[in-house]
Structures are given as structure tokens and as C-alpha cells.
Amino acid sequence: MNQDLCQELSTETIEKSLENWLKQQAITQDYQLCYVLAHAEDGVIWGNFEVESGILKTSNQAFPEYDFPALRLSTLQQCRIFGEAGEILLWNSNSTWRSRLILQSQVSELLKQEKIGLIPESQILWGTQGKENGNFTLLSDGSQGLKYAAPITGMTVSQDKQKQYRPLRLEVHHYFCYDQDGVARIFLSRLVSLKEKIYES
């Protein structure tokens, strides 16, 4: 089922400039993917493409006073560029860069044909307090001192360290299909968006 859902992307030019490659993949005539989530040897990197300008901003640029890792090919393990329209996954396999694209238009077609099923998941992310800068919010959690900067603004977060509500959600879609014995299995997952869940008392 993966081959029906995924398109392989060329990574030939990635060694020249990781940022240019990401930009070429994220912003096309057919779709715009604004979020970046990268895992590197030195930590997690959040990013955001400004669709109008095509400029990529990362968490270490939004908050340079913190020791957030930089996005660079030499330490990168995997990177996801995502949005409502789809997801691109870039990963390193035996020292070779590989990449695949999932488009929501293709997902919708397979769902309509009932070839696949969808399980949406809303993952709670750390962060009970926040401070905004540009398109990012610096989130910290209680008294634990954990900090990271996510590409989202306008969230209602408490400055009260006693309140432990975490408003940020990472929306994930899991796709499943049935085998010949009728057993369902999740065969692929993709990131969709970052959203705020309003606190309901």
C-alpha cells in the first residue's frame, strides 16, 4: 500500500544546500508545506517556511540566546516537512539520503475508494508557559526547565508555574489497511499540523 500513497523524491542536490533542497520540496505550484521538524545528533529542530517569501526560519534563529541546534546536513538524521496538504520525509539510510512525499489529495482518493482507513491522533506536546518571538513560541514546562521553540503563535499559555495545562498539539494521521485475513494494520503515519487546544475547565 505504501507505493500507492508515497512518491519517491530525488535527493541529488541535497549535498549542495540542505536549505535550498527543503525549500524546493516544500513550496511548489501544487502545495505549500510550512512546518519543519528535524531530528539531529544534537537535538530536535523546529522550523517554519514563510510561504510568501520562501524563507525558512528555525528555532535557533528565533531564540539565539538559547542553545538550540542548527539545521545542518552533517548532523541530520531525519527531517519532516509537513502541512495540511501533505508531508515530505527525508532520512539517511546507510549514508544515502532518501525522501518520500505523501499528498493529501492522494490520501483522499484512497480513502474515498476505501482502500485505506485513517486514524487521527492529537499528540500533547510539552509546554505550560510560553513566550513569543516572530512566528515561534518558546515553550517551557513547569519547573522542569525543558525549553523548545515551536513554529506557532497566538496560543493561550499561563505564566503561572502552578498551572500544568499543555495547549500545544501535534496532529498526526495514521493510515491502515486490511490484509487477506481481514486483520487491520497501520502501515504509515504522517505529521499534519500544529494546533492549540483551548483549556476547558
Residues 164-174 have a mean pLDDT of 93
**Mean pLDDT, rounded, of the chain:** 91
Q: Where are the beta strands (DSSP E) in 75-144?
A: 76-83, 86-93, 96-103, 117-124, 129-133, 136-140
Confidence band for 162, pLDDT divided at 50, 70 and 90: low
- pLDDT given for residue 117 in this prediction: 95
The neighbour count for residue 134, using CB atoms within 10 Å, is 14
Confidence band for 163, pLDDT divided at 50, 70 and 90: low
Residues 30-35 have a mean pLDDT of 91
60-110 pLDDT, tens per residue? 999 999 999 999 999 999 999 999 999 999 999 988 999 999 999 999 999
Under DSSP, the state recorded for 27 is B
